[in-house]
Amino acid sequence: MYVDLQKDDGVALLTISRPEALNAMNVQLLEELNEAISRVERDNDVRVLVITGAGKAFVAGADIAHMGGFTPEQAKEWSELGQGILARLENVKKPVIAAVNGYALGGGTELAMACDIRVASDRAIFGQPEVKLGMIAGFGGTQRLPRLVGPGKAKEMLFTGDHYDAAAALAMGLVNEVVPAEELVGYCLDMAKKIASNGTEAVRLSKQAVNGGLDLPLKEALRLETALYSLVFSTHEPREGCSAFLEKREPKWTSS
């Protein structure tokens, strides 16, 4: 098993564990990741997901031995497999935090970018080094990276294949925060618990509004926001949240 999933108090912690290969992605790892995403989606007790890696890597790319002999058709299938799973992760209804503990290269940077929030340890290293192998990023790197850091910086990363430390990743906007390595998972779990303490539907619809509106013209995106804003009032959450605020107590979220 390459993927371990634990949950506690509304938060699931998914650890990618293939340390002998720096957690590099192969078919089995991707299939296990896909199944773990399904489990998180189905589990109503899980409100936030945190993803990290075991050992000194988050995910150090895809398994190079697996890719070297690809035919064009096999390469297409591999790209579609990875893109499909990361798109599922990006659009899962619950917030996802990447706790990037170490090397996040190639598919590792692409995995982190599919998460909603990225927190890096001060030992994290990012990069899209595919060109050094005569390849291009195939799990969404050429598309998510410019949306996060701008086309100029994305092209620099994709064309040079250089590695970037956590401070550089923070400066370019690739990660939200950098924390000491020994504090990383605890910091991300605390953030996850803070998110989980808010209205479940409110958080879900906030994510849907941001993801759904990113590629829309502003006028259409604002219409989407209005639709989702009104939708949340079909749940108990606005009434409970406002009552709790006025009564100076913690809200009690229940099923809508």
Does 255 reside within a domain? no
**Number of domains, the chain:** 2
Q: Are residues 228 and 178 in the same domain?
A: no
d(CA 217, CA 212): 11
Please check whether residues 241 and 166 belong to one and the same domain: no
113 and 7 share one domain: yes
Residues 109 and 206 in one domain: no
Residues whose CB is less than 8 angstroms from the CB of residue 237 and which lie 6 or more positions away in sequence, other chains included: 199, 200, 201, 202, 253, 256
Amino acid of residue 21 = A
230 and 115 both lie in a single domain? no
Enclosing H/E stretch for 240: helix 237-246
Query: What is the pLDDT, as a whole number, of residue 255?
Result: 53
Please indicate, yes or no, whether residues 56 and 176 belong to a single structural domain of this protein: yes
Q: Is residue 227 part of a domain?
A: yes
Look at residue 189 in the predicted model and tell me its pLDDT: 98
| 184 occurs within a structural domain | yes
Q: Is 130 a catalytic residue?
A: yes
Task: Give the number of other CB atoms < 10 A from CB of residue 203.
Answer: 19
Residue 22 belongs to a domain: yes
Which CATH number is 217's domain given? 1.10.12.10
Domain shared by 29 and 147, yes or no: yes
Q: Is 235 within the bounds of a domain? A: yes
The reply to whether 252 falls in a domain is: no
Please indicate whether residue 110 is annotated as part of the active site.
Answer: yes
Over the chain (256 residues), the average pLDDT of each successive run of 10 is 95 96 94 97 96 97 84 95 97 97 97 98 98 96 97 98 98 98 98 96 97 96 97 95 95 75
116 and 222: one domain?
Answer: no
Q: Which domain holds residue 111?
A: 3-196
CA dihedral 38, 42, 45, 49 (to 10 degrees): 20
Would you say residue 95 lies in a domain?
A: yes
pTM of structure? 0.95
- Same domain for 145 and 72: yes
Instruction: Say if residue 189 is in the same domain as residue 209.
Output: no
Contacts of 19 (CB under 8 A, 6+ apart): 54, 55, 56, 57
- pLDDT tens-digit map of 231-255: 999 999 999 999 999 999 999 987 5
Residues 62 and 132 in one domain: yes
Residue with tokens 């790892």: 29
Q: Which of 80, 90, 130, 247 is catalytic?
A: 130
Give per-residue pLDDT as tens, 26-74. Answer: 999 999 999 999 999 999 999 999 999 999 999 998 888 878 789 999 9
Of 196, 215, 238, which marks where a domain is finished? 196
Q: Which of 196, 217, 232 is the last residue of a domain?
A: 196
Same domain, yes or no, for 183 and 79?
yes
| CATH classification at residue 162 | 3.90.226.10
- From the candidates 110, 182, 201, 225, which is the catalytic residue? 110
